[in-house]
C-alpha cells in the first residue's frame, strides 16, 4: 500500500509540472479552420509515434506536426482528410503522399486550442495542411 501511494505521488507530480495542460486523448490530432494559403508541396508520409501524428518530409527528413482542416479525423491506421466542399479522402499511415500547405510557428496558433498538442508534440514544428494527394 505504501508503494502504491508513493507511485501515485510521483505520477501526479508530472501533472503538476504543467498545470492546465492535459495529455492528448487517444488518436487526437491538431485541426484548424480551413486555410487556402499553400506555400509549399512536400512529398513524404504520415506516422503515429508517441501519440503524435507526424509528417516526415521525404526530401529533407524533417518531422512536422500536421494541422489539418476541421472535420478531419484519425482512427489509428488512416487519416480521413476533410476538405470543405469536396469528398473526404482516406490517407493510410506510411502511404507516400504530397502534402500542400505552409509552415508556421506554434506562437502563430491560438494558445489554448493547441496547448496539449504543442506540449506533447511540440518538438515538431506545425504545418498547416491545405491539400493532400497520393505521391504517385
Q: For the segment 52-61, what is each residue's pLDDT rounded down to a tens digit?
A: 999 999 999 9
Q: Is the pLDDT of residue 5 over 60?
A: no
- In terms of DSSP bridges, do strands 125-134 and 63-69 run parallel, antiparallel, or are they unpaired? parallel
The fraction of the chain above a pLDDT of 90, given in percent, is: 67
The whole model's pTM is what?
0.81
The fraction of the chain above a pLDDT of 70, given in percent, is: 83
- Three-class SS state of 9: helix
135's grid cell: 505521391
Which pLDDT value is given to residue 2? 57
In 3D, which of 80, 71, 75 has the Cα closest to residue 33? 71
Which pLDDT value is given to residue 26? 72
Residues with Cβ within 8 Å of residue 133, at least 6 apart in sequence: 97, 98
Taking only the tens place, the pLDDT of each residue in 107-121 is 988 877 788 899 999
The mean pLDDT of 10-33, rounded to a whole number, is 66
Which pLDDT value is given to residue 58? 95
Amino acid at each position: 500500500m505504501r508503494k502504491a501511494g508513493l507511485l501515485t505521488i510521483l505520477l501526479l507530480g508530472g501533472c503538476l509540472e504543467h498545470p492546465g495542460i492535459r495529455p492528448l486523448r487517444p488518436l487526437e490530432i491538431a485541426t484548424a479552420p480551413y486555410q487556402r494559403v499553400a506555400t509549399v508541396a512536400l512529398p513524404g508520409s504520415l506516422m503515429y509515434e508517441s501519440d503524435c501524428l507526424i509528417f516526415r518530409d521525404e526530401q529533407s527528413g524533417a518531422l512536422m506536426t500536421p494541422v489539418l482542416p476541421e472535420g478531419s479525423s484519425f482512427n489509428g491506421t488512416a487519416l480521413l482528410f476533410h476538405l470543405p466542399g469536396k469528398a473526404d479522402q482516406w490517407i493510410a499511415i506510411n502511404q507516400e503522399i504530397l502534402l500542400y500547405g505552409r509552415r508556421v510557428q506554434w506562437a502563430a496558433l491560438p494558445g489554448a486550442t493547441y496547448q496539449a498538442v504543442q506540449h506533447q508534440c511540440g518538438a515538431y514544428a506545425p504545418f498547416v495542411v491545405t491539400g493532400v494527394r497520393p505521391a504517385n
